[in-house]
C-alpha cells in the first residue's frame, strides 16, 4: 500500500510551475471524438484522471499516446459507443462522453460515472439539456441509454450553473443543426478555455465568460493543437502549503484573476504579494487571523479549494467559519484533521474551526482528492511524522507532488507498505 510520509515543521519556499488544469484537459480529451483529425493537448500532466480518460477513449477505438509534454488523440475510427461501469466508475468526467459522442453518433450507453464520494452530483441537469437538443434518454440499471435522430439547436435554461452540464451542452451543440442558447451557464475559467479550444477547432461559440452562451452549429470540426490554462486549484494548494509553513512561493503558469477569491484573503498586509502576467509571488509577513469562507460557482470561492483552506485555518489565530454550498459530503477529511489535534466542529454544511497553536503527526486516510490535499497541507505544519494513505485519490489531480514539495523544502517521501 502506498502512502506519503511527511515530517512537518519546515519552512517552504521556492519556485514551481503549475500544470495545465485537470478540469480543462478532461473535457478537451472528450472533444477529440468531434473530429476525424488529430487533437494534441500540450503540457498535459501524467495524472490518474487523464489516464482514466485515455482508457475510455481507447476502449471506444481511439488511439491515444503521450509524446513529449503532450497527449495526442486520434478518434477517427471509433468502434464502440459505450462506456462500461469498470471505466466510468473511475472518473466522473466520463460524463463528458455524452455530449461529444452524441454530437457525432446516434446512440451512446454509459454507466453512471464515479469519482470522489463528496456528495450528490445530479446528472439530471445534463440529461434535461440533452433532451432539449433532441436526445431520448432512458435510465435503467445504473446506465444511461441515449438515442437521437439529429441534434437540433434549442434554448436551454439551466436550473443551476453546473460546470459539467454547461460544458456537455456546449460540446454537443457544436455540430448541431441551427443555433443553441444556454442560459444560467457556469462561468469557470476552464469553461472559457474549453470554448477557446473548440473555436480553434472551428466551432462558432459566443458569450464565453458570461451567463449566456450561444452556439451556431457547424458541419465539421478540425484537429487542433492547444495548451490549456494553468491549474488554479493546484496553484492554490501550493500557495496555502507554503503559507501554512510561514514561507514564500513563486508559482508560474497561473492567471491571478482565476484565483483572486483566494488571494483576496491575503491582501490585507498579512502577506507580501507580487503579480506579473502569469506569475504569483506570495510571502507570509504577519500571523493569520481566522477566515470566513463560503464556496460557490465562479467567481465565488471554489469548492475544490475548500478542504485545503480549512486545513490552513486549523492553525490560524482565532475562529474561522467555512460554509460549503456545492457538495454536502465534502467535510469527510475533517475527522482526519481532528486526529492531528485540529479543533473542528461540523454542523450540516458549515465547519467551525478554532485555530490551534500546533498540530501533531498522525496516520491519516484520504477519502477523496481534495480532502487528501488538505491532509498533505496540514501535515506540512504538524509536529512529527504523518503518514497519509489513500494516495490513489491524490494521484488523480496532483502530478509530481513529492517532487514539487521537496523542491520547496518539504520533508516528504512516497513509501510502500506490504
Same domain membership, residue 219 and residue 207: yes
Domain edge (last residue) among 167, 195, 223: 223
How far apart are alpha carbons 121 and 275 in whole angstroms? 35
pLDDT at 267: 87
Domain edge (last residue) among 190, 208, 223: 223
Same domain membership, residue 284 and residue 211: no
**pLDDT band at 324, cuts 50/70/90?**
very high
**119-148 confidence digits (pLDDT tens):** 445 689 999 999 999 999 998 888 999 999
In this structure, what C-alpha cell is assigned to residue 62? Answer: 481511439
Domain edge (last residue) among 187, 206, 223: 223
Same domain membership, residue 111 and residue 82: yes
The dihedral sign for the CA sequence 50, 52, 55, 57 = negative
pLDDT at 114 over 80: no
Same domain membership, residue 201 and residue 179: yes
**pLDDT band at 117, cuts 50/70/90?**
low
Could you tell me the residue range of the domain that residue 312 belongs to?
2-18+230-416
Question: What CATH number has the domain bearing residue 204?
Answer: 3.65.10.10
Same domain membership, residue 321 and residue 212: no
Same domain membership, residue 409 and residue 336: yes
Number of domains, the chain: 2
Task: Report yes or no: 19 and 43 within 8 Å, Cβ to Cβ.
Answer: yes
Same domain membership, residue 265 and residue 195: no
pLDDT at 343: 98
Same domain membership, residue 358 and residue 238: yes
**349-366 confidence digits (pLDDT tens):** 999 999 999 999 999 999
**5-59 confidence digits (pLDDT tens):** 999 999 999 999 999 999 999 999 999 999 999 999 999 999 999 999 999 999 9
Q: Which residues contact 90 (CB under 8 A, 6 or more apart)?
A: 52, 55, 114, 115
How far apart are alpha carbons 164 and 314 in whole angstroms? 32
Same domain membership, residue 379 and residue 333: yes
176 noted as active-site residue:
no
Percent of the chain, pLDDT > 90? 90
Phi, psi (deg, nearest 5) at residue 23: -75, -5
Same domain membership, residue 35 and residue 12: no
When computed from its CA atoms, the radius of gyration of the chain, rounded to whole angstroms, is 21
Catalytic residue among 31, 116, 146, 271: 116
Same domain membership, residue 265 and residue 358: yes
Same domain membership, residue 405 and residue 292: yes
| Range 50-78 average pLDDT | 97
Amino acid at each position: 500500500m502506498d502512502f506519503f510520509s511527511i515530517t512537518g515543521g519546515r519552512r517552504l519556499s521556492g519556485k514551481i510551475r503549475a500544470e495545465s488544469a485537470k478540469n480543462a484537459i478532461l473535457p478537451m480529451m472528450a472533444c477529440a471524438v468531434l473530429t476525424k483529425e488529430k487533437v494534441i493537448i500540450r503540457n498535459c500532466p501524467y495524472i490518474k484522471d487523464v489516464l482514466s480518460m485515455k482508457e475510455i477513449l481507447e476502449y471506444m477505438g481511439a488511439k491515444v499516446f503521450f509524446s513529449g509534454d503532450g497527449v495526442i488523440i486520434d478518434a477517427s475510427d471509433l468502434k464502440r459507443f459505450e462506456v462500461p461501469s469498470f471505466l466510468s466508475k473511475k472518473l466522473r468526467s466520463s460524463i463528458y462522453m455524452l455530449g461529444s459522442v452524441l454530437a457525432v453518433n446516434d446512440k451512446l450507453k454509459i454507466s453512471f460515472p464515479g469519482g470522489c464520494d463528496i456528495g450528490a452530483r445530479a446528472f439530471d441537469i445534463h440529461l434535461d439539456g440533452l433532451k432539449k437538443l433532441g436526445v431520448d434518454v432512458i435510465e435503467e440499471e445504473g446506465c444511461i441509454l441515449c438515442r437521437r435522430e439529429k441534434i437540433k439547436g434549442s434554448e436551454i435554461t439551466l436550473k443551476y450553473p453546473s460546470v459539467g452540464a454547461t460544458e456537455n451542452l456546449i460540446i454537443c451543440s457544436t455540430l448541431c443543426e441551427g443555433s443553441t442558447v444556454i442560459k444560467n451557464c457556469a462561468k469557470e475559467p476552464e469553461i472559457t478555455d474549453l470554448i477557446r479550444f473548440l473555436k480553434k477547432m472551428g466551432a462558432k461559440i459566443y458569450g464565453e465568460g458570461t451567463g449566456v452562451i450561444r452556439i451556431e452549429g457547424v458541419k465539421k470540426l478540425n484537429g487542433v493543437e492547444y495548451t490549456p490554462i494553468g491549474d488554479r486549484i493546484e496553484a492554490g494548494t501550493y500557495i496555502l502549503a507554503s503559507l501554512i509553513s510561514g514561507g514564500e512561493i513563486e508559482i508560474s503558469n497561473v492567471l491571478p484573476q482565476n484565483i483572486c477569491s483566494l488571494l483576496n484573503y491575503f491582501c490585507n498586509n498579512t502577506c507580501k504579494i507580487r503579480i506579473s502576467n502569469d506569475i504569483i509571488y506570495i510571502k507570509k509577513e504577519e500571523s493569520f487571523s481566522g477566515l470566513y469562507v463560503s464556496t460557490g460557482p465562479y467567481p465565488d470561492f471554489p469548492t475544490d479549494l475548500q478542504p485545503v483552506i480549512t486545513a490552513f485555518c486549523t492553525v490560524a489565530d482565532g475562529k474561522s467559519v467555512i460554509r460549503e454550498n456545492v457538495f454536502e459530503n465534502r467535510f469527510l477529511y475533517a475527522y482526519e484533521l481532528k486526529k492531528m489535534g485540529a479543533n473542528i466542529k461540523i454542523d450540516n454544511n458549515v465547519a467551525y474551526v478554532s485555530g490551534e497553536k500546533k498540530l501533531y503527526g498522525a496516520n491519516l486516510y484520504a477519502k477523496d482528492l481534495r480532502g487528501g490535499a488538505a491532509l498533505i497541507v496540514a501535515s506540512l505544519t504538524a509536529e512529527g511524522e504523518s503518514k497519509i494513505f489513500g494516495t490513489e485519490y491524490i494521484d488523480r489531480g496532483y502530478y509530481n507532488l513529492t517532487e514539487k514539495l521537496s523542491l520547496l523544502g518539504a520533508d516528504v517521501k512516497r513509501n510502500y507498505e506490504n
